[in-house]
Amino acid sequence: DAGVIQSPRHEVTEMGQEVTLRCKPISGHNSLFWYRQTMMRGLELLIYFNNNVPIDDSGMPEDRFSAKMPNASFSTLKIQPSEPRDSAVYFCASRRDRAVYGYTFGSGTRLTVV
Amino acid sequence: QKEVEQNSGPLSVPEGAIASLNCTYSDRVSQSFFWYRQYSGKSPELIMSIYSNGDKEDGRFTAQLNKASQYVSLLIRDSQPSDSATYLCAVPRGVTGGGNKLTFGTGTQLKVEL
């Protein structure tokens, strides 16, 4: 089991540029979550998918953020245009429904917008 | 009131002592609770889950749950320097407490000193 795989690990971009973060969940896990972590706000849920369908995107900060899950093995989080305040670590996590355990997190993408 | 509250710390304990980490939650119907450990620069890692009132032990870790007081704690016996990390309490959201979304506390930083 390769775990949840995220790419890139680090991303530095200039303000105004488009940023795309990628995630491959654990095979067989049908729920996928995108979180953002900052020192000030901790771990915040941005959006989650169940069986590839977006269920709750109430945590997406604004229209500049969008997420897709075209199939069970791939999801993207896009920021366009990026701003310095988007700088954070973005985590993807997955879970199998009705599992009694919590999520498994990916290694995260550290985004810096300059 | 925040959904999940933790003292940010840092909590400093000497090596070999018991570290006690506390968490309170606001949703009375929550049924499952999770403790994650996060080393600096790494992703959160699930270390304990608890569903019933009382104590649950796993090696040096003991989770304690009191649903009437809406309180969950994590005890680490014989603390080691390798236990130095941030510990995150997580509670599912949802009317039934079995919601698919985990809400995280901001975490307590633990430092185990030689």
Cβ pair B32:A100 closer than 8 A? yes
Phi, psi (deg, nearest 5) at residue B109: -85, 125
Residue A106, judged by CB atoms within 10 A of its CB (0-12, 13-18, 19+), counts as buried
| Per-position b or e across B20-51, b if 16+ CB within 10 A of its CB | ebbbbbebeebebbbbbbbeeeebbebbbbbe
Region of B29 on the Ramachandran plot (φ > 0 left; ψ -120 to 50 alpha; else beta)? alpha
Tens-binned pLDDT, residue by residue, of chain A (114 aa)? 689 999 999 999 999 999 999 999 999 999 999 999 998 889 999 999 999 999 889 999 889 999 999 999 999 999 999 999 999 999 999 988 766 667 899 999 999 999
Tell me which residues of chain B have a pLDDT lower than 70. Answer: 1, 94-99
Phi, psi (deg, nearest 5) at residue A86: -80, -5
Q: How many CB pairs under 8 A join A and B?
A: 45
Q: Residue B43: which of A42, A50, A105 has the nearest Cβ?
A: A105
Rounded CA separation A95/B50 (Å): 17
CA distance A84 to chain B (A): 20
Rounded CA separation B107/A63 (Å): 29
- What is the structure's pLDDT at A1? 65
The answer for B 22-81 residues in CB contact with A (under 8 A) is 32, 34, 36, 42-46, 49, 51
**Looking at beta carbons, which residues of chain B come within 8 Å of A42?**
88, 104-107
